[in-house]
């Protein structure tokens, strides 16, 4: 194999690995804070990409109605106790976030000349539509069973995943979409031409990882999340609301998912069910990090990306098998080297 | 329970034996949700357009969705046979789904009209597959057309990339044989997944083999990704696609990068360009117009495959009705025989000529060579 080809494969692996790294971080984060194995993570990738594609086609994205619908549901669930507690101020807050905001976004996308907006504004709108579904989902699906065993949370995740895939088919149809690249520029690095989109993906991933690190190290909310991840009961005794921690986590997870979708939409065709496999590879990476370690998960993601790239070169028919088989030696190694702790129920 | 059902069916039997109630029941299984929904949705949408009255018999269609899941197809077919007592079944949408239900259709003696891509449902012909009729062009027919075009344009080496599913695998087999007969060499054979976010590696492997042309075999829009990747990697040779890429979305997703692609597919893509003399032209135009009127969009070819199944049944039902009453094994068996006797019947996909050995029945009128020119499908004369 020539050196140049190896370089191109490495570059391809890094591009995919960067996306897997983002998703792996989100999966680790969600698991650490809420003990949820967040299978619907991939759906946010597809929702983000396809919502952007719809915006760019100049049609009002159908996902906005899901946002409104979820908002109404949350308002009912949260509004009734707020009303009973006799504090109308709280009701105002609930309605503000869950009724006014979705309707505002809906009004915005139906009024604005979507097609002629700058690309950055389209991306921002797509994120504004998709990301709030994360916390909404936590409120409706996971918060009522927040203290259930991991297995129950996993089963609920599977149900949420299937529901979102079905809704995705309803919203976006069965056909895939691509969006135009953010820039057509490319960079010549020795014998290699790196497309602008690749640079963009890597840059955004690195920025996001650094930003997340800063968020966890320096801000009060970040520290609160870390505290919850370390010891749920202890954090609660210190006055950290588990519901707030959960919503914040899901907000971050949905943001990372939708952003990943926006990033990959120009380099591949995204279908309503594409997200699942991408997130599954992120999951393999998260497993390498033991669902606990962020740096190990990121390294694992790069490893998955490289393995995928090289195995599609040598044995393209068995690529998926090779990538997912990686999980077996990793699990063996982890179970042999780490002390097993039974989950208390 | 059994006795009750027996009584019920006896009562129903007496009721339905009157001429006024004579009714043929046809089950339709499509994958209108799940991974191959893009195939199943136009198929499900074609059901309301199919003939509901044949002679003095009414035809009732019972549509079911299998969610692209082969296990669900089996459940659906068992339900249609034991609960609805259907006379014929159209479907399922996917190749693996169809392979899984053949034995149940054969055991119950119900003709199965499968609108699926793989020729494996009717070839090699045996005691079970004789109940199956296939309303799509065999891969062989399309492959021969493409190989013919390659030979004519002096192409000697071809790189192949197919989806890693039965569709791609069968194409790899059929095309390699067909190309070998014309002295064309397949110099690289790669696979990719529908959900792959990148086929850069496979593209590099193809580029290294330096083929004169590349053939991409994948069902639906996933066929776009390898072509765009190779285009971006600077591949300058000719691109060939299979009938799996014969969708309007292929042009939309591919844009300028799929210009000049050659593929062979049914005439539905180039209806406005085929001559009036083509026996399928009018039927296909009527179908497309009726579909567009009802659903507001043009149908993908997959819908035409199911519509053709309806037309085949329409021609066969009167023949079978002379030999038995609908709902009886005699009728179903006669229906199978009548389908096998179909001769020179034009439909949306081409002209059907069934025989005991050929249950797909297309000839070269079932495929046209088409290229992409100026962002439109254009007939190669």
Return the closest-CA partner of residue B93 out of B130, B163, B38: B38
Give the chain A residue nearest B200 (alpha carbons). A12
> Which among B190, B195, B205 has CB closest to A274?
B195
Chain A closest-CA separation from residue B15 CA (Å)? 41
Give the whole-angstrom CA distance, residue B69 versus residue A188.
46
Give the whole-angstrom CA distance, residue A323 versus residue A165.
23
Return the closest-CA partner of residue A304 out of A323, A287, A321: A323
Neighbours of A99 (CB within 10 A): 16
Helix, strand or coil for residue A185? coil
CA angle (A302, A306, A312) in 5-degree steps: 145
List, for chain B, all residue ranges whose pLDDT scores fall below the cut of 70. Answer: 1-22
Is it true that domain B139-265 has CATH number 3.30.1360.120?
A: no
Chain A residues within an 8 Å CB radius of B205: 313, 316
> Which among A9, A177, A317 has CB closest to B201?
A9
**Res B144: pLDDT:** 92
Burial of residue A199 (CB within 10 Å: 0-12, 13-18, 19+) is: middle
Do B200 and A319 make contact, defined as CB atoms within 8 angstroms?
A: no
What residues have CB less than 8 Å from A198, skipping those under 6 apart?
A11, A14, A15, A267
Chain B residues within an 8 Å CB radius of A192: none
Chain B closest-CA separation from residue A313 CA (Å)? 5
Task: Report CA torsion sign: B167, B169, B175, B177.
Answer: negative
Chain B closest-CA separation from residue A67 CA (Å)? 23
Q: Does A278 touch chain B (CB under 8 A)?
A: yes
Helix, strand or coil for residue B239? strand
Do A175 and B221 make contact, defined as CB atoms within 8 angstroms?
A: yes
Q: Pick the residue of A21, A165, A176 with the most B CBs within 10 A to test the interface with B by mutation.
A: A176
Chain A residues within an 8 Å CB radius of B201: 9, 12, 309-310, 312-313, 316
The encoded tokens of residue B324 equal 């038995």
Chain B closest-CA separation from residue A138 CA (Å)? 25
Helix, strand or coil for residue B68? coil
Give the whole-angstrom CA distance, residue B223 versus residue B246.
10
Same fold, B2-137+283-364 and B139-265: yes
Return the closest-CA partner of residue B361 out of B298, B326, B323, B316: B316
Give the whole-angstrom CA distance, residue A289 versus residue A270.
27
Q: Does A8 touch chain B (CB under 8 A)?
A: yes
Chain A closest-CA separation from residue B13 CA (Å)? 40
Q: What is the pLDDT of residues B20-45, one digit of tens each?
A: 456 899 999 998 887 778 888 899 99
Do A317 and B164 make contact, defined as CB atoms within 8 angstroms?
A: yes
Chain B closest-CA separation from residue A170 CA (Å)? 9
- Domain ranges across chain B: 2-137+283-364, 139-265
**Res A142: pLDDT:** 94
Q: Does A19 touch chain B (CB under 8 A)?
A: yes
Give the whole-angstrom CA distance, residue A130 versus residue A61.
10
Provide block-wise average pLDDT over 10 residues at a time, chain A (345 residues).
Answer: 82 91 93 92 94 91 92 89 77 84 91 86 93 94 91 95 91 83 75 80 91 90 88 88 91 95 89 89 91 88 92 86 88 79 52
* Prediction ipTM score: 0.70
φ/ψ (deg, to 5) at B256: -65, -25
CA angle (B248, B252, B257) in 5-degree steps: 120
Contacts of residues B331-335 at CB distance under 8 Å and 24 or more positions apart, as own/partner, are: B331/B87, B332/B87, B332/B88, B332/B109, B332/B110, B332/B111, B333/B109, B335/B87, B335/B88, B335/B111
Superfamily of domain B2-137+283-364, CATH level 4: Response regulator (3.40.50.2300)
pTM: 0.77
Do B205 and A313 make contact, defined as CB atoms within 8 angstroms?
A: yes
- Domain ranges across chain A: 3-337
In contact, B30 and B66? CB cutoff 8 Å: yes
What residues have CB less than 8 Å from A28, skipping those under 6 apart?
A286, A289, A291, A292, A293, A294, A297
């Amino acid at each position: 194999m020539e050196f140049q080809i190896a370089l191109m494969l490495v570059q391809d692996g890094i591009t995919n690995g960067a996306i897997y790294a983002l998703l792996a971080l989100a999966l680790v984060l969600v698991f650490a804070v809420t003990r949820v194995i967040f299978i619907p993570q991939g759906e946010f990738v597809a929702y983000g990409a396809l919502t952007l594609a719809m915006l760019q086609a100049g049609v009002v994205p159908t996902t906005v109605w899901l946002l409104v619908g979820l908002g109404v549901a949350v308002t009912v669930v949260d509004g009734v106790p707020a009303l009973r507690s006799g504090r109308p101020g709280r009701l105002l807050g609930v309605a503000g976030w869950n009724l006014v905001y979705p309707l505002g976004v809906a009004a915005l996308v139906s009024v604005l000349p979507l097609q002629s907006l700058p690309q950055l504004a389209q991306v921002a709108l797509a994120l504004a539509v998709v990301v709030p579904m994360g916390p909404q989902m936590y409120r409706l699906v996971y918060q009522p069973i927040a203290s259930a065993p991991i297995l129950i949370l996993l089963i609920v995740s599977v149900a949420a995943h299937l529901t979102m895939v079905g809704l995705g088919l309803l919203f976006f149809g069965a056909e895939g979409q691509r969006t135009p690249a953010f820039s057509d520029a490319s960079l010549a690095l020795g014998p290699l031409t790196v497309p602008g989109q690749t640079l963009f993906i890597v840059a955004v991933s690195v920025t996001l990882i650094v930003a997340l690190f800063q968020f966890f190290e320096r801000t009060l909310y970040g520290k609160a999340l870390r505290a919850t991840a370390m010891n749920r009961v202890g954090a609660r005794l210190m006055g950290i609301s588990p519901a707030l921690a959960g919503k914040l986590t899901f907000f971050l997870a949905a943001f990372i998912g939708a952003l990943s979708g926006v990033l990959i939409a120009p380099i591949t065709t995204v279908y309503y069910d594409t997200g699942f496999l991408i997130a599954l590879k992120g999951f393999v990476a998260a497993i390498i990090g033991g669902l606990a370690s962020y740096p190990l998960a990121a390294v694992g993601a790069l490893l998955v990306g490289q393995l995928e790239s090289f195995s599609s070169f040598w044995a393209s028919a068995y690529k998926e098998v090779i990538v997912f088989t990686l999980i077996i030696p990793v699990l063996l190694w982890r179970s042999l080297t780490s002390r097993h702790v039974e989950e208390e129920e | 329970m059994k006795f009750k059902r027996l009584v019920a069916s006896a009562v129903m039997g007496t009721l339905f034996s009157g001429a006024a109630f004579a009714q043929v029941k046809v089950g339709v299984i499509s994958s209108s949700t799940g991974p191959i929904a893009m195939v199943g949705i136009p198929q499900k949408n074609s059901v309301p357009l199919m003939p509901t009255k044949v002679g003095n018999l009414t035809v009732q269609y019972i549509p079911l969705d299998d969610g692209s899941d082969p296990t669900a197809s089996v459940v659906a077919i068992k339900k249609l046979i034991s609960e609805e007592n259907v006379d014929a079944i159209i479907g399922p949408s996917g190749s693996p789904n169809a392979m899984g239900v053949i034995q149940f259709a054969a055991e119950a003696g119900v003709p199965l009209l499968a609108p699926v891509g793989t020729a494996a449902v009717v070839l090699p012909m045996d005691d079970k597959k004789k109940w199956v009729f296939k309303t799509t062009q065999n891969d062989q027919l399309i492959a021969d057309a493409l190989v013919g075009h390659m030979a004519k344009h002096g192409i000697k080496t071809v790189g192949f990339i197919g989806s890693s599913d039965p569709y791609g695998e069968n194409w790899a087999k059929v095309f390699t044989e067909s190309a070998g007969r014309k002295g064309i060499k397949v110099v690289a054979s790669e696979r990719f997944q529908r959900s792959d976010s990148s086929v850069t590696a496979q593209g590099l492997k193809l580029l290294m083999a330096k083929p004169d042309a590349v053939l991409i075999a994948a069902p639906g829009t996933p066929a776009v990704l390898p072509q765009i990747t190779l285009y971006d990697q600077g591949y300058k040779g000719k691109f060939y696609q299979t009938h799996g890429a014969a969708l309007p979305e292929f042009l939309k997703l591919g844009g300028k990068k799929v210009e000049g692609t050659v593929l062979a597919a049914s005439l539905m893509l180039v209806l406005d360009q085929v001559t009036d003399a083509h026996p399928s032209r009018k039927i296909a135009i009527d179908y497309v117009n009726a579909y567009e009127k009802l659903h507001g969009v043009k149908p993908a070819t997959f819908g035409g495959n199911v519509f053709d199944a309806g037309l085949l049944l329409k021609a066969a039902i009167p023949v079978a009705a002379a030999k038995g009453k609908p709902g009886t094994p005699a009728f179903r068996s006669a229906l199978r025989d009548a389908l096998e006797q179909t001769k020179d019947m034009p439909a949306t996909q081409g002209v059907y000529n069934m025989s005991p050995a050929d249950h797909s029945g297309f000839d070269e009128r079932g495929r046209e060579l088409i290229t992409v020119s100026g962002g439109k499908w254009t007939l190669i004369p």
